[in-house]
């Protein structure tokens, strides 16, 4: 079975809400070393002089300034040399998903090209969520476009040369180039939904943290197709999302 670690790279406790979430990052052993799916916040994001948007978001969401939560430090705590992290696959480039890129300057960062282009211009309904300072100096980008492959019934882009198999699944809405990321785990699949979906199978999340209107349309867009996918393949697919604290607690030690 593929070695997969579930990491919380930013505990979330939003002000005024009875909700505990995470910045959900996957660490996966691959044929090239180790790979991250999303990267959470980086060390530079936790400094007092980080950009105002980052500091405001962290304060509003109750995210502690604790470097031990970064992917870099959690990788090292697991006894893995951080330089063995050779690839980072991003759902999107918002601050709480792409900040850790700066801690792995040697890694190949895989991203859907429309997402990168939108981030460079702060385009989209939540364009303020991009802080180019986090990743603008990174030298090793791998861009993808034209989803000509399929993952089940979804249009997808297969990432070549990496095992286990990885697919980018374009799910625009939260951002222009947002993608879910599907990772093969032997006979099963682990689907990181990023911010395109809520953990729709957990009604308690809906009740305690109803998403703002700007995000609900995105969740409603993809939820029916994912529910159908789970109904047709109940033992083959495991779904998480970018801030799902309940699933994190469930899977973190599996």
Locate the domains of the chain by residue range: 4-251
Q: What is the structure's pLDDT at 104? A: 98
pLDDT in tens, 111-141: 999 999 999 999 998 899 999 999 999 999 9
Bond into 164 cis (ω within 30): yes
Computed on alpha carbons and rounded to an integer, the radius of gyration of the chain in Å comes to 17
Q: What is the structure's pLDDT at 246? A: 83
Q: What is the structure's pLDDT at 209? A: 47
- Strands ordered across the beta sheet of 85-89: 4-8, 24-30, 33-37, 85-89, 108-112, 141-144
Spell out, as residue ranges, where the chain has pLDDT lower than 50.
200-209, 214
Helix (H, G, I), strand (E, B) or coil at 140: coil
What does the alpha-carbon distance between residue 208 and residue 122 come to, in Å, rounded to a whole number? Answer: 30
Where are the alpha helices (H) located in the chain, listed in sequence order? 52-60, 71-77, 95-98, 113-120, 203-208, 213-232, 245-251
Q: What is the structure's pLDDT at 208? A: 43
Q: What is the structure's pLDDT at 247? A: 86
Nearest to 215 by CA among 171, 170, 182: 171
Q: What is the structure's pLDDT at 125? A: 83
pTM of the model as a whole: 0.93
Sequence-separated (6 or more) residues with CB below 8 Å from residue 68: 74, 77
- 34 pairs with which residues across the strands? 29, 85
- Topology of the domain covering 4-251: Metallo-beta-lactamase; Chain A (3.60.15)
Q: What is the structure's pLDDT at 227? A: 82
Nearest to 84 by CA among 34, 28, 140, 138: 34
CA triple 89-45-246, angle to 5 deg: 60
Question: Using an 8 Å Cβ cutoff, are 167 and 156 in contact?
Answer: yes
């Amino acid at each position: 079975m593929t070695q997969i670690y579930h990491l919380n790279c930013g505990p979330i406790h939003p002000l005024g809400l009875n909700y505990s979430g995470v910045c959900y990052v996957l660490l996966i052993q691959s044929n090239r070393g180790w790979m991250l799916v999303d990267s959470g916040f980086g060390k530079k994001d936790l400094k007092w002089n980080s950009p105002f948007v980052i500091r405001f978001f962290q304060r509003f969401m109750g995210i502690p300034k604790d470097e031990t939560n970064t992917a870099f430090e959690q990788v090292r705590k697991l006894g893995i040399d951080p330089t063995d992290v050779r690839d980072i696959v991003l759902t999107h480039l918002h601050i709480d998903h792409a900040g850790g890129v700066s801690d792995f300057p040697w890694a190949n960062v895989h991203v859907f090209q429309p997402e990168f282009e939108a981030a460079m211009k702060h385009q989209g309904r939540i364009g303020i969520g991009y802080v180019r300072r986090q990743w603008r100096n990174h030298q090793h980008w791998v861009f993808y476009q034209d989803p000509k492959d399929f993952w089940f019934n979804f249009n997808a882009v297969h990432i070549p040369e990496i095992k286990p198999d990885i697919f980018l699944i374009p799910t625009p809405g939260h951002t222009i180039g947002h993608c879910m990321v599907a990772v093969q785990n032997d006979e099963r699949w682990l689907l990181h939904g990023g911010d395109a979906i809520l953990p729709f199978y957990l009604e308690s999340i809906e009740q305690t943290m109803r998403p703002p209107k700007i995000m609900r349309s995105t969740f409603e867009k993809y939820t029916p197709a994912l529910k159908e996918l789970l109904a047709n393949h109940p033992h083959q697919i495991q779904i998480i999302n970018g801030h799902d604290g309940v699933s994190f607690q469930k899977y973190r030690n599996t």
